[in-house]
Structure 1
């Protein structure tokens, strides 16, 4: 399989997942400012999920640009990552409707951490498939330095959701999304 075919498939699936997110938004009981205000958690969860997935897509575009080869490991970990990503509309809908519910936040956190984990494994496999590509290796090594902090913050958010403050998970995802936007995962030059 060519790199282009896999990246096109990833782009298509992520575009569909991001589109389904908006279809899962609840409608206001009354079409008034108050009706929309009552759905603020829904809009927050939707916005965060959309931009988190969008950020992942942007980073993938930047990293995959330098890849020359893929192998079965890259393909399969990409597929598993996409499977986990496909749960985002469902998890977002649940957490949006049950914002202060521990189980809803933990489920959302498990989906986020699963996507993060398989995305990380996918990049590791991509790096191994392109061992002779110094530019890609440099970029992915820079990315790996950040990813441990990203995962740690999400795990702290998950534990905090379980122990004392359910929305801690979604706020941990917001924090990592902001940090990754300000300080890109890969700081190596193109």
Structure 2
């Protein structure tokens, strides 16, 4: 598959998802800072989701800048990854509307976990499919910076258990995971 078309397709879908999230930003009902502060849960969830998608977009482009080939399997895993990302606006809106309720927290966190696992699968498949030549050096860099499985599993477990006791743990652990991902990145 043509890599440029593949990346343009991905960019378009990511841009649409981010646009949907921006359009969901709620306008305060009054002209006061108190009115603005009442929308704080949505702003927080929006910022977390937006930054996660921005980070993923960067790593996605970094991964494929060092790739030469796109297989049908890579294409479909990428599409499923984008599908999971398409649920971020819904999850972001729900968790911000009910920040102290477990169900929205679990939904948001579940979408994030599925999305993160799919990115790892995409990363592995791309690295494996593009082994050899000059492309393997860049792919190896991405691979080592996005596969800290012990930390990931620990944070995912902390989130899954922690949400039961304190629903905002969904956003907190998501931020911690995204920070660990970016602090060890390129």
TM-score (norm 2): 0.92
After superposition, the C-alpha distances for 1:85-129 in whole angstroms (9 at most, x for unaligned) are 001101100001111110000000111011101111111110121
CA distance in 1, matches of 2:122, 2:61: 14
Other-structure match for 2:74: 74
What is the aligned counterpart of 1:141 among 140, 143, 146?
143
Structure 1 stretches lacking a partner, 5+ long? none
Aligned-pair RMSD on alpha carbons?
A: 1.6
CA distance in 1, matches of 2:154, 2:86: 23
CA distance in 1, matches of 2:181, 2:19: 23
Other-structure match for 1:118: 118
8 Å CA contact retained: 1:113, 1:151:
no
8 Å CA contact retained: 1:63, 1:140:
yes
CA distance in 2, matches of 1:48, 1:144: 19
* 1:67 counterpart SS class: coil
Other-structure match for 2:84: 84
Other-structure match for 2:9: 9
- Runs of 4+ more than 6 Å apart: none
Correspondences of 1:92-111 after superposition (within 5 Å): 92-111=92-111
Other-structure match for 1:177: 178
TM-score (norm 1): 0.90
Tell me, yes or no, if structure 1 residue 53 matches structure 2 residue 53. Answer: yes
8 Å CA contact retained: 1:49, 1:88:
yes
Q: 1:148 to 1:177 in 2, by over 3 A?
A: same
